Structure 1
């Protein structure tokens, strides 16, 4: 298998490989979530308009990042299936083509974004006081998005080969650099040091770009010189196109799948659902969801790692191990979800009092933690199931699972709950019902009906010259 630190996940305990990758990944995800909180704090010291501008940019940045997440899923699938087939000679070529495809597409997005950022946010309804700050932030962010996406795709390539430690170290390093640069780049004066370096909201974006640029350089060195996973000799453009097609075949549906859940949560927060019951109820639901997200980081890490395990074993045609990866991952999601639910149930009142000033907001949060959080295992099962199918090169199944939960169940349930119950508990109950039904349906389908074999792209047609060269003399 290509790569000095690669792991053969077609041998040994299946869930042992998942846990080995999931643990460091959890720390990396936590570090990146912490950066978001610290960014919000420092920008908040600049003023309300600046903080609102950064918050308003979030849906757009998430939409753009979904492209890179999808391309990363495509890279994991293609590289891990090749590793499972023991096709070590192809792995550097696939890895290089995955990286170049991601940088090319995101570079196009960057160029368009810089030119149209003001028009985008004016169309989204940014106020005249907010718009200049949004433009300042997003022009820097769009300008440096290639440097943000590069390390993400590199990390996916390494995880496809079973190496989750280096990607996690990379994420934590980026977070640490970002945390140091935030006050220096955002504020005019930091404890009497660095006077005149504060660039306000654009400094927040610049800190993120600079931190990721540092880690991108480090991981490129690691991939090129230590792992020898990048090969920049493009001798056969037909092969490059073949790999791009296979990566996009998984990456595009995975990208679309990543949009479904934010859309469903937007509906849940909207004037058709929770916002009908006042700002306090919206705030309560938002705080409850954010704290829950911290508690279920291992489930996010699980979804980031299972695709490599199913991909390698699917590529090796080890159907029994693919099914075992799904089964044990679902059991872990159930156990962790119930554990989180128990903790949030016990401490719901205390947490609500700490984070929310109003009684209405506290009531909404407590209701969420004592109802919807009981069902979070169902959400964990759906994201693990979807990612596992992406690894197998079967993204249509992954998209079906995520769309079924978000659009087929959650959206209609929260809307029905909002109007039928006419109280926040109706919306929260809709989220809970969607988690339960989607989790049960996913587990039942995956473990009893779904195919466990890997699906590869169309076989590449060789050039006539290649074929002729292979004929015996």
Structure 2
């Protein structure tokens, strides 16, 4: 059978490869890349849009508790982002490895990767839960939460206490996506999100749980998605990959293949959380905790604005992974080019809509008397930040291409340049050196993200062109010796 390790493919005939044709998602991955991107991306775009809408609804209900509650969520968000970074990173690493084996028509290898991914998920999830619950209050005090620290602790105790649920829901969804089954991935995300939307006001206000109620609603939504994954994988057993833990033996080659993309992907998102912490500190220095409330609330609007792009990026990982597994580099380049065009078009339209509707969006999240005073600043944030929406596609989709190729370090390096160099540098430059204050931080976010995205795109095209030139030289050499 085919075995893919350390980025190389050893090809032998796999008798199970005929099973590929029994699964619609596998046919999609092996077909035309443009059609594959559209077929996989549309359900994921819908799912990500609904999922990010629930984060806005979450913010809407919490805003009724006042600006301190919004600020508390702002201080929790980077740490919640770290939790999500670990789950998404592992999911991307395992999913990309599965997709490459699907491209190489190695079902047994895909099954083995899936089992390894779940075992690793249980270990990491357990360690994260124990560590996160041990240092909560000290962490928030050190991060500058001040009077909002008790609210931040109340929220995070719930959301971090159920980390295993969050881990399995996200990793399971990534496995489903890796085999081209974006419809069920969409179903799991939407059903969980709708439950969260329904439970938020009940737990926060009806049951009087306050900010902890918002966290519990979020955790239960992940729990429902988790239950669906368990049912599909272990009861119906109708996914392409199958799970057999009997006689499981850790394989270092498979583990490294998962980590080669998963660890950089996790670190990539963790550095984004670190960037948020740095931005929070800059904001507190030039403004106040109200500025953090503006940033955390506005950034949730950003997440829904780029939700379609996240859906496209998930499709790119699977489609490009299958292309690299088959060593079809022209297909990989076509995948990247088409995805970039699609992303630029979508985000340009969303940017215009955000700019026009900024005052109305701000009013929705500042309806409570205790939060009304931040409405003008939130409007200003939304009008500035939407400028960088189109450029996000250059960076995000290029990172997804690297992940599909198993080149997680490439994606990480480009991301580090954006999150820990460009963005904090320009935020500090505009806020302090140019004395632009809080508004300067927003312009720093736009400039830093834009430059980082451009670097990632340029690198991805250079990488693809290099592969194609190398392949062309090999073809010429073979023909000359024939």
TM-score by length of 2: 0.80
Is residue 2:103 matched to residue 1:91? no
List per-residue Cα deviations over 1:36-74 (Å, max 9, x = no partner).
333344455567766655443222221122111110111
| 1:253 counterpart residue number | 264
Sort the Cα spacing of 1:238 and 1:429 in 2 relative to 1 into closer, same or farther, 3 A. Answer: closer
Could you tell me how far apart the structure 1 residues matched to 2:81 and 2:356 are?
Answer: 33
| 1:263 counterpart residue number | 274
**Where do residues 230-309 of structure 1 align in structure 2 (5 Å cutoff)?**
230-235=242-247, 237-239=249-251, 241-271=252-282, 276=286, 288-309=298-319
Report the more deviating stretch, 389-398 or 431-440: 431-440
Q: CA deviation at 1:119?
A: 4.5
Could you tell me how far apart the structure 1 residues matched to 2:425 and 2:404 are?
Answer: 30
**Where do residues 154-303 of structure 1 align in structure 2 (5 Å cutoff)?**
154-187=172-205, 190=206, 199-224=209-234, 225-227=237-239, 229-235=241-247, 237-239=249-251, 241-271=252-282, 276=286, 288-303=298-313
| 1:445 counterpart residue number | 459
Could you tell me how far apart the structure 2 residues matched to 1:53 and 1:353 are?
Answer: 20
Could you tell me how far apart the structure 1 residues matched to 2:390 and 2:110 are?
Answer: 35
Q: CA deviation at 1:35?
A: 2.7
CA contact (8 A) 1:319 1:452 kept: no
Q: Secondary structure at the match of 1:6?
A: helix
Sort the Cα spacing of 1:109 and 1:349 in 2 relative to 1 into closer, same or farther, 3 A. Answer: closer
List per-residue Cα deviations over 1:241-264 (Å, max 9, x = no partner).
432222122111111111233333
| 1:8 counterpart residue number | 27
Could you tell me how far apart the structure 1 residues matched to 2:44 and 2:379 are?
Answer: 28
The gaps in structure 1 that reach 5 residues or longer are 191-196, 455-473
| 1:433 counterpart residue number | 447
Match of 2:420 among 392, 407, 420: 407
Paired residues in the alignment total: 442
Q: CA deviation at 1:12?
A: 3.1
Q: CA deviation at 1:452?
A: 7.2
**Where do residues 11-50 of structure 1 align in structure 2 (5 Å cutoff)?**
11-43=30-62
Is residue 2:403 matched to residue 1:390? yes
The gaps in structure 2 that reach 5 residues or longer are 1-18, 469-482
Report the more deviating stretch, 340-349 or 46-55: 46-55
Q: Secondary structure at the match of 2:106?
A: coil
| 2:376 counterpart residue number | 362
Q: Going by fraction, where is helix more abundant, 1 or 2? A: 2
Sort the Cα spacing of 1:420 and 1:56 in 2 relative to 1 into closer, same or farther, 3 A. Answer: closer
Could you tell me how far apart the structure 1 residues matched to 2:439 and 2:316 are?
Answer: 34
Match of 1:322 among 312, 329, 332: 332
Could you tell me how far apart the structure 2 residues matched to 1:397 and 1:93 are?
Answer: 26
Could you tell me how far apart the structure 1 residues matched to 2:70 and 2:382 are?
Answer: 26
Could you tell me how far apart the structure 2 residues matched to 1:321 and 1:199 are?
Answer: 52
Could you tell me how far apart the structure 2 residues matched to 1:420 and 1:408 are?
Answer: 16
Could you tell me how far apart the structure 1 residues matched to 2:144 and 2:294 are?
Answer: 24
Q: Secondary structure at the match of 1:233?
A: coil
Q: CA deviation at 1:16?
A: 1.9
Could you tell me how far apart the structure 1 residues matched to 2:353 and 2:212 are?
Answer: 39
